[in-house]
Amino acid sequence: SGHGGEAGVTVWERGTEQHIDLNAGTDGSDYQARIALSPDNRYLAIGGNNLRVWDLVNLPAALADRKPVVYSGPEVTINEVRFVNDGLLETVSSNGTQQWDVATGDEVTSVVSR
Protein backbone atom coordinates (compact mmCIF):
# COMPACT_ATOMS: atom_id res chain seq x y z
CA SER A 1 0.00 0.00 0.00
CA GLY A 2 1.33 3.46 -0.80
CA HIS A 3 1.03 6.77 0.99
CA GLY A 4 2.45 9.88 -0.66
CA GLY A 5 4.64 7.93 -3.08
CA GLU A 6 5.99 5.52 -0.45
CA ALA A 7 5.12 1.83 -0.59
CA GLY A 8 4.98 -0.39 2.47
CA VAL A 9 5.41 -4.09 3.12
CA THR A 10 4.09 -5.88 6.20
CA VAL A 11 5.37 -9.30 7.24
CA TRP A 12 2.83 -11.19 9.37
CA GLU A 13 3.35 -14.21 11.57
CA ARG A 14 0.10 -16.11 11.06
CA GLY A 15 0.01 -17.98 14.37
CA THR A 16 0.53 -14.97 16.63
CA GLU A 17 -0.59 -12.13 14.32
CA GLN A 18 2.63 -10.30 15.20
CA HIS A 19 3.93 -8.26 12.31
CA ILE A 20 6.78 -6.09 11.09
CA ASP A 21 6.17 -3.03 8.90
CA LEU A 22 8.80 -2.17 6.31
CA ASN A 23 9.46 0.75 3.99
CA ALA A 24 9.63 -0.37 0.35
CA GLY A 25 10.41 3.09 -1.00
CA THR A 26 8.37 3.72 -4.14
CA ASP A 27 8.49 0.21 -5.57
CA GLY A 28 6.10 -2.28 -3.98
CA SER A 29 5.01 -5.55 -5.57
CA ASP A 30 1.61 -7.12 -6.12
CA TYR A 31 3.08 -10.32 -7.58
CA GLN A 32 3.42 -13.14 -5.06
CA ALA A 33 6.12 -14.89 -7.16
CA ARG A 34 8.36 -11.81 -6.77
CA ILE A 35 8.32 -11.98 -2.95
CA ALA A 36 10.27 -14.53 -0.88
CA LEU A 37 11.18 -15.09 2.76
CA SER A 38 14.35 -17.03 3.61
CA PRO A 39 13.88 -20.42 5.32
CA ASP A 40 15.29 -19.00 8.58
CA ASN A 41 12.85 -16.02 8.33
CA ARG A 42 15.76 -13.58 8.45
CA TYR A 43 15.65 -12.11 4.93
CA LEU A 44 12.74 -10.78 2.90
CA ALA A 45 13.43 -10.33 -0.81
CA ILE A 46 11.33 -8.65 -3.49
CA GLY A 47 12.18 -8.75 -7.18
CA GLY A 48 11.02 -6.47 -9.97
CA ASN A 49 13.11 -3.79 -11.61
CA ASN A 50 15.84 -4.58 -9.07
CA LEU A 51 16.42 -6.90 -6.14
CA ARG A 52 15.49 -5.53 -2.71
CA VAL A 53 16.47 -7.33 0.51
CA TRP A 54 15.57 -6.59 4.13
CA ASP A 55 17.47 -8.13 7.05
CA LEU A 56 14.50 -8.59 9.40
CA VAL A 57 16.80 -9.31 12.38
CA ASN A 58 18.60 -5.95 12.12
CA LEU A 59 15.87 -3.40 11.39
CA PRO A 60 16.14 0.25 12.46
CA ALA A 61 13.63 1.35 15.11
CA ALA A 62 11.96 3.98 12.90
CA LEU A 63 9.69 2.69 10.11
CA ALA A 64 10.93 5.36 7.68
CA ASP A 65 14.48 4.01 8.10
CA ARG A 66 13.50 0.38 7.40
CA LYS A 67 14.42 0.55 3.74
CA PRO A 68 15.83 -2.42 1.85
CA VAL A 69 19.33 -2.93 0.60
CA VAL A 70 18.93 -2.61 -3.18
CA TYR A 71 21.01 -4.77 -5.49
CA SER A 72 21.05 -4.30 -9.24
CA GLY A 73 20.25 -7.96 -9.95
CA PRO A 74 19.81 -9.02 -13.56
CA GLU A 75 19.59 -6.40 -16.31
CA VAL A 76 15.87 -7.10 -16.87
CA THR A 77 12.71 -7.36 -14.78
CA ILE A 78 12.78 -10.16 -12.22
CA ASN A 79 9.66 -12.32 -12.59
CA GLU A 80 10.26 -14.68 -9.69
CA VAL A 81 12.43 -14.93 -6.57
CA ARG A 82 12.96 -17.92 -4.29
CA PHE A 83 15.45 -18.89 -1.62
CA VAL A 84 17.63 -21.93 -2.31
CA ASN A 85 18.81 -21.83 1.32
CA ASP A 86 19.13 -19.23 4.10
CA GLY A 87 21.78 -17.20 2.26
CA LEU A 88 21.23 -17.95 -1.43
CA LEU A 89 18.50 -16.29 -3.48
CA GLU A 90 17.48 -17.39 -6.97
CA THR A 91 15.93 -15.02 -9.50
CA VAL A 92 14.10 -15.93 -12.70
CA SER A 93 13.88 -13.42 -15.54
CA SER A 94 13.99 -13.39 -19.35
CA ASN A 95 17.80 -13.50 -18.91
CA GLY A 96 17.46 -16.93 -17.29
CA THR A 97 17.99 -18.14 -13.75
CA GLN A 98 20.59 -16.51 -11.53
CA GLN A 99 21.63 -17.06 -7.91
CA TRP A 100 22.76 -14.30 -5.58
CA ASP A 101 24.43 -14.09 -2.17
CA VAL A 102 21.63 -12.43 -0.24
CA ALA A 103 24.00 -10.67 2.20
CA THR A 104 26.25 -9.09 -0.46
CA GLY A 105 24.21 -9.04 -3.67
CA ASP A 106 27.04 -10.81 -5.51
CA GLU A 107 26.03 -13.15 -8.32
CA VAL A 108 26.95 -16.75 -7.51
CA THR A 109 25.67 -18.67 -10.57
CA SER A 110 23.87 -17.91 -13.79
CA VAL A 111 21.98 -20.09 -16.26
CA VAL A 112 21.33 -17.94 -19.33
CA SER A 113 18.18 -18.49 -21.40
CA ARG A 114 18.73 -19.26 -25.06
Q: What angle do CA 33, 100, 37 make, to 5 degrees?
A: 40
Reply yes or no on whether the pLDDT at 111 is more than 70: no
Asked if 88 and 100 count as a contact pair (C-beta separation under 8 A), the reply is yes
Name the pTM for this structure: 0.81
Q: Kindly state the average pLDDT of the residues 41-49.
A: 92
Can you give the pLDDT at residue 3?
44
d(CA 7, CA 5): 7
For 83-102, what is each residue's pLDDT tens digit?
999 999 999 998 889 999 99
